[in-house]
Amino acid sequence: CAAAHKNEDQALFPIVQGNFFKDLRLAGVEAAKPYAKYGIAIGGLSVGEPKPLMYEMLDTIQPVLPTGVPRYLMGVGSPDCLIEGVMRGIDMFDCVLATRIARNGTALTSKGKVVVRNAVYKEGFTPLDEECDCYCCKNYTKAYLRHLVNAGEMLSSMLLSMHNVTFLNRLMRGLRNAILEGNLKEFAADFYRKYGKI
């Protein structure tokens, strides 16, 4: 793959695998390092594996990952996994979570998940998240979003997706700022206190 990769406009990230075997993970890092010119990817930790095991594997390989290049944790996108990944030196993530849960009528908010199809929001004439300035939160109420979801309107998925992606972008911006300000642990603790149990 590395020999065939000649396009300098594209970044090739070797992928570290190894399941939950520490020795295989460590060997995977060593095998990937010579090819990690642009970054390194970590795979095989987000397809149903328990989160504590994922964190254990990240703790195992973190000290030997190459420095000076982005570290990409593949397929991870829940708020807690983003925070825990960043706290373990991860720089990049990708995941369908924001749009998948939006299609099912769920929003990520600063106070936890909101399932807008639930009857409790029938008369919820407030935004999804008072702390959010996305188009959805500035223009629509939980009650209207509930109506859209329950009526099967495609607009509900679009608005909730827009909101969820904005939420995750804001979370990542907060994490970057916390790193720069030297208060990452405090940021994480404050997020968990407001967001609730995950």
Tokens for 92, please give them.
């990049």
Instruction: Kindly tell me the burial class for residue 43, based on how many C-beta atoms sit within 10 Å of its own C-beta (0-12, 13-18, 19 or more).
Output: middle
Is the residue at 22 inside a domain? yes
Contact yes or no for 163/106 (Cβ under 8 A) = no
Q: Residues 83, 109: one domain?
A: no
Q: Residues 84, 72: one domain?
A: yes
Walk along the chain (198 residues) and give the pLDDT tens digit of each residue.
666 666 777 888 999 999 999 999 999 999 999 999 999 999 999 888 899 999 999 999 999 999 999 999 999 999 999 999 999 999 999 999 999 999 999 999 999 999 999 999 999 999 999 999 999 999 999 999 999 999 999 999 999 999 999 999 999 999 999 999 999 999 999 999 999 866
pTM: 0.92
Is the residue at 88 inside a domain? yes
Helix 142-150 vs helix 154-181: crossing angle, to nearest 10: 130
Q: Residues 131, 151: one domain?
A: yes
DSSP 8-state symbol, 11: -
Q: Residues 56, 104: one domain?
A: no
Tokens for 89, please give them.
């030196």
Q: Residues 102, 88: one domain?
A: no
With CA atoms as reference, report the closest residue to 187 among 176, 90, 196. Answer: 176
Three-class SS of 90-118? CCEECCCHHHHHHHCCEEEECCEEEECCC
Is the residue at 33 inside a domain? yes
Range of the domain at 119: 98-165
